[in-house]
Structure 1
Amino acid sequence: MIYNKIKAYLCLMFAMIIVGSSIVFGKIMVESIPVFLSSGLRFAIASVLLFVILLIVEKKLPKLTRKEVTILSLQSFTGVFLFSIFLLYGVQYTKAVESGIITSTTPIVIGILSFLILKEKLTRQVMIGVLFVALGISVINLVNSGEDGIRGNFPMIGNILVMLAVIGEALFTILGKLLSRRLSPLAISAFVTFFGFVFFLPFALYEAMMFDFSQPSINDWGYVLYFAVVVTVIAFYLWYKGVSKVSGSVSGLFTGFLPVSTALLSYVFLNEQLTSIHVVGFMFVVLGICSSSLFNKKV
C-alpha cells in the first residue's frame, strides 16, 4: 500500500518537473522555430505515438459519440491550441521562472471556473487560496520597471499571456468533467492531441511555406521531439498513473513542483536569476495552493 503511494507520488512529481521543463525549453525552442510550426510538428508526432500506444494497449480505437467529439474538440481548443499559443508567446516576453510560478496557479483557477461554469460550491478555503495567489502574482508583476531588461521585453504582457494559458488549461479540466467515464485517459489524450494537431495544421503549413528549415540546429529540432515525446506523451502517462492512485487534493499539491522545476532549469539553461521578489511571490502562491487543496477535501 505504502509502496504504491510512493510510486504515485513519484509519478506526479516527475510529471510536474517535466511540465516545468517545457516552459524553459519552450522559451528556447521558439527562438529558432515559430510557435505554430513547432506546435504542429509536436502534436503530429505525439498523435502518432499515442494512437500506436492506444492500439497496443486497448487493441482497437473507441467509437466516439457526437457529444464526445464536441467535448474533446473543445478540450483540445482550450487546453492544447490556446494553451500552447498563449504559453509559447508569453515566455518570449517574460522570464521562464515567472511563467512557472503563474502556471502553478492552475488548481485555483479550476476552482474559480468550476464555481462560475459548473456552479460548484466555492469553499472558504478556495477563496482564501485565490487571495493568496492573486497577491503572489501581483507581487511578481509589481517589480520596479528598472528590472524589465532582465525580465523580458514586455513582462506584464508576457505574464498576462501565461495567465490566459492557465485559464485555457483550467477550461480543459472542467470540460473533462463533462465526459463519460467510458473513455480511458489514454484514449482521451490521443484524441485531444490529434484534434490539437488539426487546429494547428493550417497555421503550421502557412509558417512552413516561409520558413528556412536549414536554419535550426539539430538541438533545436531536438526540442520539438522532446515536447512531442516527453512533455506530451510521457508526462501525461505519469500524471494519470499518479492521479489514479491518490485523491484530487493530494495531486493538486504536486503542482508546487512546477515552479521549482522551472526556476532551477531557468537558472541552468537560461541564466535567469531567482530574485527575492520571485521567492515572496512563490511563497504566496504556495500558500494559496495549500489552503485550497490541503485543507479542502472537496477539491
Structure 2
Amino acid sequence: MEQSTSPRGLVQAATAMTLVGTLTAVSAAIARYPVYGGQAVRYAVAAVILLVVARLSERSRGPRTRRRLRLREWALVTALAATGLAGFNVCIVEGTRYTTPAMIGTVVGAVPVLLAVIAPLLERRRPAPRLVVAAVIVALGAAAANGLGGGSVPGLLLALGALAGEMAFSLLAVPLLPRLGPIRVSAYSAAAATPMLLGTGLLVDGTAVVRVPTAGELAGFAYLVVVVTVGAFLLWYDALGRIGADRAGLFAGLIPVSAAVTTMVLGLGTPSAAELTGALLVGCGVAAGLGGPRRSAPAVAVPPDQEPAGVTGAPCP
C-alpha cells in the first residue's frame, strides 16, 4: 500500500521515539534492580493497563468491536514479544557485558535504513530512493551521537540481535494492526513478553529475580510503564498504521538525540560535539525524508472502532 504523510502520524512517530530516548537516562534510577525481573514487572503492569483500556473501549462501543486472536495472530504476537521486546532486552543487557553501550547504539542506529528498504519490499513495492538516502543520513547521525563505540565479536553479535529485535518490533506489528489496532497489539505483546523475561530472570538471578523497589526505583518504574511503554507503544503503533514503517523508521534516529537531551536536563552530563553533530544529521535526514510528495492512502488501515476517544493518538519500546 502507499504511504501517507499524515501530520498526526508524523507527530506520533517523533513523540514515540523521543519518549523511548528518555529510557537511557531514566533507567539510572533502577540500575540496581534485577534487570530481567524489573523488565518483566514493567511489561506486566503495562499489559494490565492496556488491557483495561481495551476493555473500556469495547464496552463503550459495544460487543461487536471485540476481536479474538486467530492462530496466525497468536503466532505473530508471540514472535513480536520474543524478538521485539524480550529478545531486544536480553541482547541489550547481555551486550553491555562485551561491548560499550555506544557500540550497541551505533548498530541499532541502522534501523531507519533497514526499515526504509525492507518495509516496502514486504508490501511488494519499491523502496523510495528519497527515503533510503534520508535513512542513511539518519543512521550516520545516530552513529555519531552514539560515539561510534567499539567492542568484541560477541558484543557485535548481540548488538546485531538488538537490531533484529528493533526491526521485528515494527515489522511484525504491521500485519496485526489492521484488525487488532494499536491498543491490543501493545497489550498482547507486553503480556506475552512478561513470562519470557521472568523465565530469563529466574535462570540468571534465581530467587532474587524480583524484590520490593525503593521509592526512587518505584518512581523510575512508574515512568517506564506509563510513558515509555504504554504511551510510546500506542503512539508508535498508531503511527505505523498512518505513515508506514519505512517513513516512521526515520524517527528512530531521534532516540540517541533524546537520550542526550534527557541526560542534560536531569543534570547527568552535557552533550558532546559528536552528539550535537549527530543531532544535526538526524534532523537533516528526517527533513529530507519527509520532503517527498504527499500520498493520501495510509500504509496500514487502523480500524476506527479500535480508537477510544482520548487514548489512541495520545499516550507510550
TM-superposed deviation, 1:45: 0.9
The equivalent of 1:109 in structure 2 is: 114
Aligned runs of 1:67-86 on 2, under 5 Å?
67-86=72-91
**Kept after mapping to 2: 8 A contact 1:141/1:156:** no
Any unmatched runs of 5+ in structure 2? Answer: 1-5, 300-317
The equivalent of 2:189 in structure 1 is: 192
The equivalent of 2:47 in structure 1 is: 47
- What percent identity do the matched residue pairs reach? 24
> What's the C-alpha RMSD, in Å, of the aligned pairs?
3.9
1:224 aligns with 2:221: yes
TM-score, normalising length: structure 2: 0.71
The equivalent of 1:147 in structure 2 is: none
TM-superposed deviation, 1:38: 0.8
The one of 121, 127, 151 aligned to 2:126: 121
TM-superposed deviation, 1:55: 0.9
The one of 259, 263, 275 aligned to 2:260: 263
1:278 aligns with 2:283: no
The equivalent of 1:234 in structure 2 is: 231
Distance 1:224 1:157, change over 3 A: farther
The equivalent of 2:175 in structure 1 is: 178
Distance 1:208 1:269, change over 3 A: farther
Q: Aligned to 2:172, what secondary structure does the other structure show?
A: helix
Q: Aligned to 2:56, what secondary structure does the other structure show?
A: helix
Q: Aligned to 2:269, what secondary structure does the other structure show?
A: coil
1:145-190 deviation line (CA, Å, top 9, x unaligned): xxxxxx8x96998787566434312222122233362212111111
The equivalent of 1:17 in structure 2 is: 18
Q: Aligned to 1:75, what secondary structure does the other structure show?
A: helix
The equivalent of 1:210 in structure 2 is: 208
1:45 alignment partner AA? V
Once residues 180 and 276 of structure 1 are traced to their aligned partners in structure 2, the CA distance between those partners, rounded to angstroms, is 40
Q: Aligned to 2:268, what secondary structure does the other structure show?
A: coil
**Kept after mapping to 1: 8 A contact 2:12/2:235:** yes
Q: Aligned to 2:179, what secondary structure does the other structure show?
A: coil
Distance 1:254 1:271, change over 3 A: same
TM-superposed deviation, 1:196: 0.9
**Kept after mapping to 1: 8 A contact 2:146/2:256:** no
